[in-house]
Chains A and B, each alone.
Chain A
Amino acid sequence: MNAFASAVRTPEEAAKISRTLDFLALGAFFFIFLASYHVHFMLLAGDWDFWIDWKDRRYWVTVMPIVSICYPAAMQAFLWEKFRLPFGATLVTLGLLFGTWANRYFNFHLFTYFPVAFVFPTVLLPLALILDATMQVFKSYAVTAIVGGMFYGLLLYPANWPLIAQMHVPVEYNGNVMSLADVMGFHYVRTGNPEYIRMVEKGTLRSFGKDVVPVSAFFSGFVCIVTYFTWYFVGRWFTRSYNTDAI
């Protein structure tokens, strides 16, 4: 094996092969990290993502960014540090979007007949774009963690409000006040999802009622900073090349 012997004949051929390998890698990465991210996401935050009546002010706002920032951070550690490609967060988030929408439409809707308005996924793309833009502008994972991570937490509710607001209109239903989201949850029967299992804000004697979303969003943003740091280093660790002589 001669290290200096080239495998190609012309510079044009080399460029063409390099480009073709780029497309193959991009296609492979899209699906491979989609699957990995989706498993992580659906089993750590999935319930809030599945149902409109789980998308509350306290838990959804807190859990969703903290769980979903992991893969964007790891992906940036790989794509930005090694290749200076500024779309790590967006790539995996698009993948997740593809995976969740394929499921909600073809399975939740067309297989088991839940309305799409009941099971549409959380909007995460604006959050990912902010993260990638921060990385590209500041060229620093620390700044991305602190600024990007905070905005990642803060942006979740505003990014989703235009979609969920319509479901928060109150109605009187058999003498009770319910939001349309609640009504949907009661109406479209879920055999494995009794009401008591729903983790949503129920009020406490130690809380002030009107500040729930901002406080949750800030808390989420702060934890996102820590999560980002952690998962950036997870991404770095997975980027290292390991070999061993025996298994």
Chain B
Amino acid sequence: MAATSRAIARGHAQVVDEPLFAWSGMWLAAAGFFVFYIGVRWYEGVYGWKYGLDSFAPEFETYWMNLLYAELVIEFGSLAALLTYLWKTRDRDIDRVAPREELRRYCTLYMWWVIYGIGLFWGASFFTEQDGAWHQTVIRDTDFTPSHIIEFYMSYPIYVMVGLGSFAYAKTRIPYFAKSWSVSYLMLTMGPFMIFPNVGLNEWGHTFWFMEELFVAPLHWGFVFFAWFILAMFGVFMQVQPRIRELIGREFQQSADYAR
């Protein structure tokens, strides 16, 4: 691109747009999620049965506790790196962003949402209900069972990372979100984030009270309360619509598609 920039600087070249939709990034991330979690599910299927049944065995330390320590370090490191990167590369002249570039950023934001949804699916849906199956297989002898190590300490932090990443992207690149704090967007990312700290309450209760797994136990309702905040996606979507209408609305109304 350096040659292009020099040509533009000399004033005799048209600006070459970046494509509006960065498809490869989205598909790569989506595929990455599926490949990674299918691998995780395989690991769990093999080593959950082989070394995950007795948490006092030394193999449990090797195959499961080490995974826990490693994933926590990697997650916090990656989150810090992601947020730092998005902040460092923020648009410092956000009021002068060209309409086309602004539209491109909205397109990218939609892609962030897709990836956030996939992360939420694996975390809040797949591995959460999976824990119900594992609870009917072992009588747990630790709070850090194989399925908890994956559910609470791997899949939850990962979707939190994507959510916060999407928020940071909007905050640093899109004028609407840069100007003030979108409470809707904060609810969308902070609600699911609070599911993760609520694990503390859950384990505290399970450690002292009961071992049988009643999924509808009141101790679990904290998770439900925080999951409701994901509905703030409604508000976020309503926030981006007026600006998208401004950006493409006039042409869109002249299109054959619209007339139809």
**B partners with A:** yes
Provide the bound-state CA to CA distance between A31 and B125, in Å: 9
Q: Which of A11, A35, A197 contacts B120 (CB 8 A)?
A: A35
Q: Which of A18, A190, A192 has the most CB of B within 10 A?
A: A192
A241 x B136 contact (CB < 8 A):
no
Q: Say yes or no: B230 contacts A33, CB within 8 Å.
A: yes
**Could you tell me if A194 and B224 are in contact, using CB atoms closer than 8 angstroms?**
no
Residues in A whose Cβ lies below 8 Å from that of B187: 238
Q: How far is the CA of A221 from the CA of B116 in the complex (A)?
A: 35
Give the interface size bracket for B toward A: 35 or more
Q: How many A-B residue pairs have CB under 8 A?
A: 247
Which residues of chain A from 1 to 60 have a CB within 8 Å of any chain B CB?
Answer: 1-3, 5-15, 17-21, 24-25, 27-36, 38-40, 42-47, 50
Please report the C-alpha to C-alpha distance between residue A247 and residue B183 in the assembled complex, in whole angstroms.
Answer: 9
**Residue with the greatest number of chain A CB neighbours at <10 A, chosen from B103, B133, B221, B253:** B133
Contact A194 B212 (CB under 8 A): yes
Inter-chain contact A35/B21, CB cutoff 8 Å:
no
| Chain A neighbourhood of B214, CB < 8 A | 47, 197
- Which of B7-15, B66-74, B93-101 is found at the contact surface with chain A? B93-101
Question: Is B257's beta carbon under 8 Å from chain A?
Answer: yes
Residues of A within 8 A of B133 (CB): 103, 107-108, 111-112, 114
Residues of A whose CB lies within 8 Å of any CB of B are: 1-3, 5-15, 17-21, 24-25, 27-36, 38-40, 42-47, 50, 74, 78, 82, 99-100, 102-103, 106-108, 110-112, 114, 190-194, 197, 234-235, 238-247
Does B238 reach chain A (CB closer than 8 Å)?
Answer: yes
Per DSSP, chain B at the interface is helix
Question: Among B113, B183, B212, B254, which residue has its beta carbon within 8 angstroms of that of A244?
Answer: B183
Question: Chain B contacts of A100 at CB under 8 A?
Answer: 129
CB distance from B52 to the nearest CB of A (A): 11
What separation, in Å, do the CA atoms of A235 and B231 have in the docked complex?
A: 7
Contact in complex: A191, B139 (CB < 8 Å) = yes
The distance in angstroms between the C-alpha atoms of A128 and B45, with both chains bound, is 35
Closest 8 interchain pairs by CB?
A31-B117, A242-B183, A35-B120, A11-B255, A36-B230, A192-B213, A14-B251, A39-B227
